[in-house]
Amino acid sequence: MSKALEITIGGKKVLCDLHEDEAPVTVAALEAAGPFESVVFSANVCSNEITWNTPVNELLDLENVVFEEDPGNVVFYPAWGAICVFYGPTEPAGKCTKIATIRPEYLDAFSEEASKVWFEQGEGKNVTTRIVEEA
């Protein structure tokens, strides 16, 4: 069985391909902590991204390090204990651990809901994150 990262925002479920082989420690920590619900604390700071806290509080080393933030990248910032998802063109803000990639068929739905956080001031703020088994 394979695993996927599932993000629910604005009532819409989005599946992401995990990069478990490239970031095993970070993915394992998030899986052990999940499922968890959080509130987006940052949106559109670097343009086209949202960020929320996780229960992972220990400072993890960077794995699968990325600097360029491609649409669909799901990353973990160890210093914040936070997940950040990029859904459009974004200026890089720093190095982070790439943990997953939004599957292409879900990127538009995620973008629509994530945009509401910034543009509609409130809708879609709650985010549920979990790692699920797939057949």
Contact assessment for residue 98 and residue 29, using Cβ atoms and an 8 Å cutoff: no
What contacts 23, CB < 8 A, 6 or more positions away?
63, 64, 76, 97, 98, 99
Give the number of C-alpha atoms closer than 13 A to the C-alpha of residue 44, restricted to the C-beta side.
10
Rounded Cα distance between 60 and 29, Å, is 9
Global confidence as pTM: 0.90
Domain 2-134: CATH architecture, name and number where available? Beta Barrel (2.40)
Structure letter (DSSP) for residue 61: P
**Which tokens sit at 108?**
């538009």
pLDDT tens track, the chain, 135 positions: 689 999 999 889 999 999 999 999 999 999 999 899 998 877 666 778 888 999 998 878 999 998 878 899 999 999 889 999 998 888 767 889 999 999 999 999 999 888 887 666 554 578 999 999 987
Report the alpha-carbon distance of residue 103 to residue 47 in Å, rounded.
20
